[in-house]
Chain A
Amino acid sequence: MVRGTLVFISGGVRSGKTAFAESWLGNRQAGRLVYVATGRPADEEMNSRIRRHRRDRDARPEQWETIERPLDLPGILPRIHEGDALLIDCITTWLANEMYEGIESGLPCHSRTGCIEKKVSELLGALSEMTDKASAVVVVSNEVLDEPLPSAADIRAYSEMLGRIHQKLAAMADVAYEMDAGMPLLRKPGNGGIA
């Protein structure tokens, strides 16, 4: 079994990251196309965002299967088949969900020592395992670090962790793109990259 391609795509909000990722995978489909959604329908705005992504996917010529996974991304490993093409959308939402995991008990992950570091290292390990199994894994995230660092401690910790994850993903990925208003900028032209 040949190891799949790991792709990292980051960009601003509504820059066309998901659409680009979908067509990237759709064009080189081998096995199933699997969309891993990390968003949680917390309010009406989020619901309509999710509906919109669903509609866009349904309108595409290929068939997509959806796995909703706001937390514990490594937990989807057993559900991945050899040759699947995976789209994980997105890391920013996943990280926020994980940081506030446990908040109902009064002790969210971001205030438990080593909690988020453990989740992040498990995620990176799982992505590598997914890439061993799948034909391609595309990981989507957001550009949120081009502004003054926020003063709230938890948001600062979030920014720092997101930057660390992005650096790891850029290093691990075979191919990396930065999206700008629908234009992909090839940041890391590895095996399988298209400009």
Chain B
Amino acid sequence: MHVVIGGAHNGKREYVREILAGEQVEWIEAGACSRLPQSLSGRVVLAGIESYLSANHENEETAMEDVFRFVQAADREKLTIIVTDIGRGIVPADPHERWLRDVCGRLNQRLFREAGRITRIWYGLAQELK
């Protein structure tokens, strides 16, 4: 599993599109999903997980289960997950947004532990973290 992380509008998707150019890719924009697909094959990219979790979950445990059910369903060798770092700003006034930041932070920690490769994107420049 390859995790690509970075702030908003930093060029994460462009980077992934570039490294996977020419490959057949199932690209999932989770922000547009009401549930994550469970039948997956080949090269898979998952992006927009933050807006998916925000729109579909209120409980951390079920949110984590949902994401990791998806990870299990995919071929880890061929899975890329793009995550947006949302944990470095002012504490949001909205409780659901605070919840989301916490869940995404813990989700990222777990994804990082399980990933074979981690890349941080800083305005299009890639840094290999693992």
Contacts and interface: CB of A to CB of B under 8 A. Distances in A.
B127 interface: yes
Interface in B8-26: 8-11
B26 to A, nearest CB: 26
Interface stretch (A52-60, A81-89, A119-127, A140-148): A140-148
B9 A159 contact: yes
Interface of B: 7-11, 50, 85-90, 92, 97, 100-101, 122-125, 127
Contacts of B50: 148
A137 interface: no
B128 to A, nearest CB: 13
Contacts, number: 62
Contact of A163 (B9, B89, B100): B9
B125 A188 contact: yes
Interface of A: 10, 143-149, 159-160, 162-164, 166-167, 169-171, 176, 178, 187-188
B8 A149 contact: yes
Contacts of A144: 89
10 contacts: A143-B88, A146-B8, A146-B86, A148-B86, A148-B100, A159-B9, A163-B11, A167-B9, A170-B124, A187-B122
Contact of A167 (B11, B85, B87, B97): B11
Contacts of B125: 170, 176, 187-188
A95 to B, nearest CB: 13
Given A145-B9, A145-B10, A148-B101, A169 B123 contact: yes
Most buried by B among A146, A147, A171, A187: A147
